C-alpha cells in the first residue's frame, strides 16, 4: 500500500511541477515579448535560461534591448531572468525530492528478484519462511541447488534480502505469484507455512499450474495430512511427529 501511495504522490508532484514550469515559461515569454516584440528570441531565451542551457547570443540580444529601455523596463526583464533562475533551482529540488522518495519506497530490489526468479530452471520453490525453510535453504545451498523463497511478510523480506536469499514478497497461494517464481520450470515446490489451509491451497494451485512438479508440505493436523494426497501433494509431513519418532528411537537405543 505504501509503495502505491508513494508512486501516486510522486506522479502528483511531477504533474504539478510540469504545470508550474509551463506557467513560468509562458509568463516569461509574455513579459519579454512586451519589450522586444520578438517571439522567437523571447522563447529561445526563456527556455534556455530556465533549463540552464547555453544562450550567449540570446542573452546578449536581450541585454542590449534591456539596457536600451527605461528603468522600469530594465527592472521587468531583470526580474524575469531572476524568476527563471530561482524557479529552476526550486523546481529541481522538488523533482529530486520526489524521485528520492519514489526510489526509497519503490522496492527496486523486489523487482530485481522477480526478474531473477523468472530466469531460474530446475529449481526449488519454498513457500513460507520458517525454521524448516531455513534448514532447507542451508541444505539446498550445500547441494548447489537453486531456489527461491516466497514470503509475503515485508519484515522477513528485508531479512532475506540482507542475507542475499532470492525471494518474492507476495502471496504464494496466488497463481501469478507462482508463475513469477517459475512454477513451470521448477523441479519441486515446498510449503513450509505455519497455516495448513495456506499450504494445501497453495499445493492445489501449484499442481494445477504444473502437474509434473513434486509438491511437498509441512502440516500440523494428522487428519489433514492423510487427506491431502488426493489433492496432489506428493509428500506431507508433521515435523512434531517426526521429532517424536526420532526421540523415541533414541530412547529405545539407550
Break the chain into its structural domains and give their ranges: 2-105, 119-253
Of residues 196 and 254, the one with the higher pLDDT is 196
Q: Is it the case that residue 5 has pLDDT exceeding 60? A: no
Look up the pTM and report it. Answer: 0.58
Strands of the chain, DSSP E? 124-127, 147-150, 167-168, 188-191, 214-218, 235-237
Q: So what's the architecture of 119-253 in CATH?
A: 3-Layer(aba) Sandwich (3.40)
- Distance, in Å, from the CA atom of 177 to the CA atom of 150, rounded to the nearest integer, reads 8
Nearest alpha-carbon partner for 106 in 240, 2, 206: 2
Of residues 229 and 241, the one with the higher pLDDT is 229
Range 65-92 average pLDDT:
69
Nearest alpha-carbon partner for 19 in 65, 78, 87, 66: 87
pLDDT confidence of residue 210: 95
- Name the pairing type of β-strands 147-150 and 235-237: unpaired
Amino acid at each position: 500500500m505504501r509503495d502505491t501511495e508513494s508512486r501516486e504522490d510522486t506522479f502528483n508532484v511531477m504533474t504539478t511541477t510540469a504545470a508550474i514550469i509551463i506557467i513560468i515559461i509562458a509568463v516569461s515569454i509574455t513579459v519579454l515579448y512586451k519589450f522586444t516584440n520578438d517571439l522567437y528570441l523571447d522563447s529561445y531565451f526563456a527556455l534556455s535560461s530556465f533549463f540552464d542551457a547555453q544562450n550567449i547570443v540570446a542573452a546578449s540580444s536581450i541585454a542590449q534591448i534591456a539596457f536600451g529601455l527605461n528603468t522600469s523596463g530594465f527592472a521587468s526583464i531583470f526580474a524575469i531572468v531572476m524568476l527563471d533562475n530561482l524557479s529552476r533551482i526550486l523546481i529541481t529540488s522538488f523533482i529530486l525530492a520526489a524521485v528520492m522518495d519514489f526510489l526509497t519506497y519503490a522496492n527496486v530490489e523486489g523487482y530485481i528478484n522477480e526478474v531473477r526468479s523468472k530466469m531460474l530452471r530446475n529449481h526449488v520453490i519454498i513457500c513460507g519462511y520458517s525454521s524448516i525453510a531455513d534448514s532447507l535453504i542451508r541444505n539446498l545451498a550445500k547441494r548447489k541447488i537453486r531456489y527461491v523463497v516466497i514470503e509475503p511478510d515485508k519484515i522477513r523480506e528485508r531479512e532475506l534480502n540482507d542475507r542475499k536469499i532470492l525471494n518474492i514478497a507476495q502471496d504464494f497461494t496466488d497463481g501469478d505469484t507462482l508463475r513469477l517464481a517459475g512454477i513451470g520450470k521448477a523441479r519441486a515446490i515446498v510449503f513450509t507455512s505455519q497455516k495448513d489451509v495456506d499450504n494445501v491451497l497453495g499445493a492445489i494451485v501449484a499442481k494445477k499450474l504444473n502437474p509434473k512438479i513434486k509438491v511437498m508440505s509441512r502440516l500440523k493436523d494428522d487428519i489433514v495430512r492423510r487427506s491431502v494426497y488426493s489433492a496432489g501433494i506428493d509428500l506431507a509431513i508433521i515435523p512434531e511427529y517426526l521429532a517424536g519418532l526420532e526421540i523415541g528411537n533414541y530412547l529405545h537405543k539407550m
